[in-house]
Amino acid sequence: MYYAYKYRLEPSDAQRKELDRHRDICRQLYNHTRYRLNEYRENHGELPSMTTLRSELPDLKKWWDDLNDVYSKVLQTIVERLFDNLSSLSALKQNGYGVGQLKWKPPREFRSFTYNQSGFKLDKKGGQTVLSLSKLADIPIRLHREIPDDAALKQVTLKKEPTGEWFATFGVEVDRELPEKLDRLKNVVGIDVGILKYAHDTDGHAVESVDLSNERERLEREQRKLSRKDHGSNNYEKQRRRVAECHADLKNKRRDFLHKLSNYYAREYDLVAVEDLDAKGLVELDGNSRNRAGAAWGTFLQMLEYKCEREGTRFVAVDPAGTTKECAACGVSSEKPLWVREHACPSCGFTADRDWNAAWNILSRGIKQVGAGRSESTPVETALPTGTTSVPAKRVVEAGSPTLKERTASAVSE
C-alpha cells in the first residue's frame, strides 16, 4: 500500500533562496520540454515518447549550465510530469470536455519538484532531524509524527505554498497485512452527508459541520484590503501573503475535521456505506453552491476510502438515487421537498429524521452490494430509536479515538 506523509520544512533564508532557484530551474526545463514536444509534433506529425525527451537531458546540460546544479532524477521527473499532464488532458477529452494544449508555466504556477527513488534521506545532524537533498541542502524538518519503521521511502515532493512556507510530502510504500476485519461484518454503519448536519449515521449520530464563519469573515476582510493596494507594490505583496494565510487557515481547519471524522469511521467499523456522490457536479448546480463546495464531500469520501483500506474496513459506495425518498422500514418511495426535514411514510406510518432514514437506506444498499450474510433489518424491526443525537464538530477531537461514542454516551447519561 502507498501512503503520503506531509511535513513542514524549516529552511534558513539562504536555503529558501536555493529552493526557489531549483524550483525556477525546474520550471524553465518544463517550459523548454513543452516547446520541444510541440516542435517534435510539428516535424514528425506525432508526439515523442517520454524516453526520447529524457534522452535529451545530457545534451542540454552541455550548454545549459544551471541544469548541472539540479539532481538528475529531479530533472527526469519534470519530463514525466509533462507527460502526466498530457495524459490528464487526454482523459478529459475522452470524457467529452473541450481541452486545449499545455500552457507555459509562470513562476506563480510552478510550485513543486520531486526527488524520486534516490537523492534524499532523513538524517540527524546537530541534534535535529534534517532532510538531506542531493545538490541542494540539509534542511531542518518538523517531524510531527513518525513514519512507520516498515515503510520504504519512494520519493519526496518539495512544495512552496502561496504563504511562502515549504512542505515535504513523502511517498512511502508499506508492506503489511490488513487487519482481519473483512471476514467479519458485525459492526456496520451507513453515512448520509449534508449541509445543515455534516453527517448522519445509522448509530444515531448527527455530526455538525465545523464552524468556519470567523475564518471566512477574516478572509473577506483581508481580501478587501488587498483590493485597495497597488498591484506589484511591497504592500500588495505583504497583503497577498495575509490573504494566502487566511486561505490556508480555512483549508487546514476543514481538512483537520475531515481527517478526524473519516479516521473515526474507518477505525470503529467493519463496513462503511456511503453515497457515490458526484461532488463536482453538485457544486456546479445552481443555488447554494458555496455551501456545497465548503462541505468538501468529495474530499471526505476520498479520505474515508483510503483510510478504510488502511484499516481493513470494507468501504462501499452505493447509488444515491432515491435514498431520501425511500422508507427505511417498508421501501415505499414518497416525494419530499428539501425543506421537509422529517420522513413520514404514507404507507406504514414510520417517522424519522429525513437524513437518518437516508443513512439506513444507504446501509441496506451497501450490505446488498457486498453480498454480506448479515440480516437486512430495518429500524422498525430492530426497535432502534428514530431520533438522533447531535454531536458538535469539536467533539471529534482526536484522530482515531472513539470520541463520538464516548462523549455522546456521557451527554445522554447527564
Cβ neighbours for 77, distance < 8 A, ≥ 6 positions apart: 113, 114, 115, 116
The three-state secondary structure class of 262 is: helix
213 inside domain: yes
Contact present, 381 and 335 (Cβ < 8 Å): no
Domain tally, the chain: 2
Contact 406, 203 (CB under 8 A): no
Q: State whether 9 and 133 are in the same domain.
A: yes
Eight-state DSSP code of residue 165: -
Spatial distance between the Cα atoms of 22 and 13, rounded to a whole number of angstroms: 14
Residue 262 lies in a domain: yes
Q: With respect to residue 180, please indicate whether it lies within any of the assigned structural domains.
A: no
Residue matched to cell numbers 458526484: 278
Grid coordinates belonging to 401: 479515538
Q: Please provide the size of the chain in residues.
A: 414
Tell me what pLDDT residue 401 has: 44
* pLDDT confidence of residue 411: 36
Same domain, 269 and 156: no
| pLDDT for res 376 | 44
200 lies in the same domain as 303: yes
Same domain (yes/no): 239, 362: yes
Predicted pLDDT of residue 272: 92
Residue 57, CA distances (Å) to 29, 51, 76, 87, 115 in order: 10, 10, 8, 22, 16
Give the residue among 304, 281, 271 at the shortest CA–CA distance from 198. 304
Residue that the C-alpha cell 501573503 belongs to: 241
Say if residue 225 is in the same domain as residue 136.
no
Boundary (domain end) residue, out of 122, 140, 174: 174
- Gyration radius of the chain's alpha carbons: 26
Same domain, 155 and 226: no
Do 205 and 168 lie in one domain? The reply is no
Q: Is residue 388 part of a domain?
A: yes
In a domain, 179, yes or no: no
pLDDT in tens, the chain (414 residues): 788 899 999 999 999 999 999 999 999 999 999 998 888 888 887 888 888 889 999 999 999 999 999 999 999 999 999 988 888 888 877 777 777 788 899 998 999 999 999 999 999 988 899 999 999 999 999 999 888 888 889 999 999 999 999 999 999 988 777 666 555 677 889 998 887 788 888 888 888 888 888 999 999 999 999 999 999 899 999 999 999 999 999 999 999 999 999 999 998 888 999 888 776 666 665 666 666 676 788 888 899 998 988 888 889 988 888 888 888 777 777 777 677 777 777 777 777 777 888 888 889 888 888 875 444 444 434 333 445 566 666 666 544 444 454 443 443 333
Is residue 267 domain-resident?
Answer: yes
If one counts every other C-beta atom within 10 angstroms of the C-beta of residue 320, the result is 18
**How far, in Å, CA of 129 to CA of 127, rounded?**
7
- Please check whether residues 150 and 195 belong to one and the same domain: no
Distance between CA 265 and CA 294 in Å, rounded?
A: 21
333 in the same domain as 253: yes
Helices within 133-174 (DSSP H only) = none
Residue 69 lies inside a defined structural domain of this protein: yes
- The CB-side HSE value for 134 (13 A sphere, CA atoms) comes to 17
Angle between helices 403-413 and 234-268 (to 10 degrees): 80
DSSP state of 109: G
Residue 181: inside a domain: no
Burial 88-112 (b: 16+ CB within 10 A, else e): eeeeeeeeeeeeeebeeeeeeebeb
Distance CA 355, CA 362 (A): 10
User: pTM score, two decimals?
Assistant: 0.79
Of 130, 151, 174, the position where a domain reaches its end is 174
Q: Are residues 223 and 344 in the same domain?
A: yes
- What is the predicted pLDDT for the residue at 407? 41
Cite the beta strand spans of 83-223 per DSSP E.
112-116, 120-125, 128-133, 138-142, 151-160, 166-174, 188-193, 199-201, 205-207
Say whether both 119 and 204 belong to one domain: no
- In angstroms, the CA 253 to CA 246 distance is 11
| pLDDT at residue 288 in the model | 61
Of 174, 199, 219, the residue that ends a domain is 174
Q: Which domain holds residue 399?
A: 188-413
- Domain match, 203 and 84 both: no
CA atoms within 13 A on the CB side of 238: 6
